[in-house]
Amino acid sequence: MIWIDSSRGYKFSVGGKDGWVLNPSESYNHWAERNRFQVNDTLFFKLKNGNDSVLVVTREKYNRCNGKKPIKTLTEGKSEYIFGRSGPHYFISSSEDHCKKGQKLVIVVLAVRPKKPSPSPASPPSASPTPSASIPAPSSKAPSPSPSDADVPSNSPNKSFVVGFTAFRTNWLLSFVVGVGVFMFCFG
């Protein structure tokens, strides 16, 4: 179950309605893999008073189920742990036997990503620089026609034929290539 506390982030109930027990209906690590944790999110551990506690430990102690000198001990019936940093966090049962039977949990907290600042409105273009003597002034002559246009006079009725034929030739070639591809797919 997940609760939202706007000042702290999300609140996750470890073990669901069962709480922190030896044989949960879903393994703790599988549950953790299905969720995404961020800095300021909170884990809520429902413990049976006097029965067990949760230890926050290093990776080495997690792997060995070593509860000696934990980083933190959660012993209250309803304990909370707030993620203050990104990276892996390791939790084990205070009972070495329970830990070895799988009552342990690793949670990887995602790194904080700063919000991207909204783009500032575009500033008006600055005044163009004044032309210097080394930059040639633009020519008043019209650009010379491209070689394909130069082959056909602009007032010639054949110019539209050349443009139309080029479009026909391109479409025909494309249709031919697609047709060959379909033929090869079906019969090749």
What six digits make up the tokens of 70? 């934990």
Q: Which residue has the tokens 């040639």?
A: 136
Mean pLDDT in residue range 93-102: 94
Q: Is the pLDDT of residue 25 over 80?
A: yes
Pairing of strands 37-38, 104-110: parallel
pLDDT band for position 179 (cuts 50, 70, 90): low
Homologous superfamily in CATH for domain 11-109: Cupredoxins -  blue copper proteins (2.60.40.420)
Q: For residues 66 and 149, what is the distance between their CA atoms, to the nearest angstrom? A: 84
Of the given ranges (27-41, 70-84, 174-188), which has the lowest mean pLDDT?
174-188
Give strand ranges (E) for 97-186.
Answer: 104-110
Mean pLDDT in residue range 170-183: 49
The predicted model scores a pTM of 0.57
Percentage with pLDDT > 90 across the chain: 42
Distance of CA 61 to the CA centre of its chain: 31
